[in-house]
Amino acid sequence: MTSLKSRLILAASLWIALGTIGAGLVLSAIFKHHVTTQFYDELHVHLDELQRLAEFHEDGTLHLQRNLSDPRYDVPLSGFYWEVQKDGKVLARSESLEGPALHMPPDAPNDIGVHTHLIEGPTGPLIAMEKGVWKDPGATPERFIIGTDERHLDAVVSSFNKTLTMSLAAFGLSLVGAATLLILYALKPMRQLRTALFDVRSGHAKQLSGQFPTEVVPLVDDLNRLLTSTGDLIQRARTQAGNIAHGLKTPLAIVTDEAYRLGDEGQDRASSTILSQCRKMQSHIDYQIARARAVAMRSTPGVVADPRKAALEVASALGRLYKGESVSIEVDVPEGHRLACDPADLNEMLANLVDNACKHARSTVRIACIGGDATGMTVDDDGPGLPPEARDVVFNIGERWDSRAAGSGLGLAIVRDLARLYGGDVRLGESDLGGLRVELILPSEG
């Protein structure tokens, strides 16, 4: 998809190109008409001069009092010729003219005055002008012919067209450059707006800020109001989710207490059933609340998390919890990376994965970045791992591959669901430590 800037520059360039080409064609046509008229005027002047200088003798011969004022008529095959004919015979001709007589089309009886023709000359097409002079109305007129090679006219026009083409090309390129600069300057507020939006998305700012033109200010104000209202809605949604959790917590605690009381009274079967269902209800409540929070935070601009900070916090908390079991938690996450995720959700996902790894590890759990970059995180352990057929089962809510291990079977399901809500995913594989590797894939900042 092309950008607005590219489309504007392309449209301006096409319009300038069409205008320049049109102007070139018009100017070339005007110049050619002007030069052609000038050529004919010059021929007419030379024709009049030829007629004035001509002297006819009694024997029918013709003699010029002097040569024409233009010396090009004296240079052999120069392309400037004159000739005087009568009854198809040549009475006189210019020193520049060689070869047979000029062949002029016949004139009609009413063709008097000056006529122009394009004939074949000794050096190419010839623009010829002729005038018939009748000394005796009943006699054949003398035909005064003067001409210039068409190539001379074409050379002048061609030279002008080359100069015109280069001039208009340079002028058109300068216009395209000026239009490009103007468009870039006009779109500068859009780049500023994009930078301001990036600052909001990356968490460096809560609202759009900067100096914008009058035309863009209403848009900026509307976006800021939208950001404020969205933040308020999300906050209310999170508060409501918390209220629901607290509202269900007390009744669920009462039911759980009753189940323990039944167990104390010897009704172990009923107590076990009720406690089992209570744990499932608590798991589903935790799952839905976490999901609701992630859905809200996913749409909030500026939500970013520091993976190193999250890894250190989780390692510190769970390291104390599993200290007695001789499990060490290593953190190999470099500084400077950011993930597009709410910090609380990243902590919760990472805590679930590390807790699960600590339960199965023999001695080591390692937290790192995927491939050393910031496209997600990995949690490795040196435990027994999982067979390939178990890697889909453990993502089902309430399912555990090892029924003897403690837990609700909800951890991996929550992690995968939260990751997918942020546009990521969770993958299981074999660790180089010998156990299970969990890849938590999350989009990077921006």
Residue 233's H or E segment, with its range, is: helix 217-264
Q: Is the pLDDT of residue 8 over 70?
A: yes
Cβ contacts of residue 107 below 8 Å, gap of 6+? Answer: 115, 132
Using CB atoms within 10 Å of the CB of residue 55, give its burial: 0 to 12 exposed, 13 to 18 middle, 19+ buried. Answer: exposed
**Higher pLDDT residue, 111 or 359?**
359
191-243: pLDDT as tens digits: 888 787 777 766 667 777 777 777 777 887 888 888 777 766 666 766 676 66
In which band, very low, low, confident or very high, does the pLDDT at 169 lie, cut at 50, 70 and 90?
very high
Q: Is 86 exposed, middle or buried (0-12, 13-18, 19+ CB in 10 A)?
A: middle
Phi-psi map region of 371: left, alpha, beta (phi>0 left; psi -120 to 50 alpha): left
Under 8 Å CB-to-CB from 156, ≥6 apart: which residues? Answer: 35
Radius of gyration of the chain (CA): 49
Element (H, E) at 418: helix 411-421
Report the CATH superfamily, name and number, of domain 307-441.
Histidine kinase-like ATPase, C-terminal domain (3.30.565.10)
Of 242, 244, 280, which Cα lies nearest the Cα of 259? 280
Cβ-count burial 159-195 (b if 16+ within 10 Å, e if not): ebeeebeeebeeebeebbeebeeebeeeeebeebbee
Domain ranges of the chain: 6-157, 220-298, 307-441
User: Given pLDDT bands bounded at 50, 70 and 90, which one contains residue 406?
Assistant: very low
- Note the pLDDT of residue 161: 95
DSSP code for 339 = B
Q: Give the pLDDT score at 405.
A: 45
From residue 6, alpha-carbon distances to 9, 180, 184, 186 in Å are 5, 9, 10, 13
- Residue 412 token pair: 């991996």
> In this predicted model, which residue has the larger pLDDT, 93 or 193?
93
Contact at 8 Å (CB) between 415 and 349? yes
pLDDT band, very low/low/confident/very high, at 77 (cuts 50, 70, 90): very high
The arithmetic mean of pLDDT across residues 262-271, rounded, is: 80
Specify the long-range contacts of residues 239-246, CB closer than 8 Å, at least 24 apart. 241/289, 241/292, 241/293, 242/289, 244/289, 245/285, 245/289
pTM exceeds 0.85: no
Position with higher pLDDT, 221 vs 409: 221
DSSP code at position 427: E
Token pair, residue 27, equals 């100017």
pLDDT band at 144 (very low <50, low <70, confident <90, very high): very high
What is the arithmetic mean of pLDDT over 32-52?
Answer: 93
CA-to-CA dists, residue 98 to 102, 147, 330, angstroms:
10, 14, 106
Averaged pLDDT, 243-265: 75
Q: Estimate the crossing angle of helix 411-421 against helix 268-298, to 10 degrees.
A: 20
